Amino acid sequence: MTVSASFRTFIVDQLGRVVAHVRARSMFGGVGIYADQLFFALIDDDTLYFKVDDSNRPDFERLGMKPFQPYGEGGEIMQYYQVPTDLLEDLEALRPWAEKAIAVAARKARRRLK
């Protein structure tokens, strides 16, 4: 569970071009990515993952992307899926994926407040 400084910088720079108020925070050997106060993405082993629910999970599954499993195959599956690497270089393609992940995080935050 390592994240190289160069990958972290690249991801924060790219996301900062398509999402307002992006910040990164080191956590448990990985990096949490926030838009304002919404935790919508994470980086682990130089791989970016976006938050998912039933509204956007099929987009990831259709492309064969895998869920984040911090304890390896067969372990717990978290509600984050690997972002296709080709999106990382294409800001116009990256924007809607990031916006959907932020919307998922916002819905989860609203449910927690109720």
pLDDT 10s digits, 18-37: 999 999 999 988 999 999 99
The per-residue pLDDT for 65 is 97
Model confidence at 1, in pLDDT bands (50, 70, 90)?
low
pLDDT, average across residues 74-91? 93
The per-residue pLDDT for 109 is 87
Query: At a CB cut-off of 8 Å and minimum separation 6, what does 8 contact?
Result: 24, 31, 43
Query: At a CB cut-off of 8 Å and minimum separation 6, what does 96 contact?
Result: none
Classify domain 5-113 at the CATH class level: alpha beta
What are the start-end ranges of the H helices in 17-79?
57-62
Q: What global pTM score does this model have?
A: 0.93
User: Mean pLDDT of all residues in the chain?
Assistant: 93
Per cent of the chain over pLDDT 90 is 82
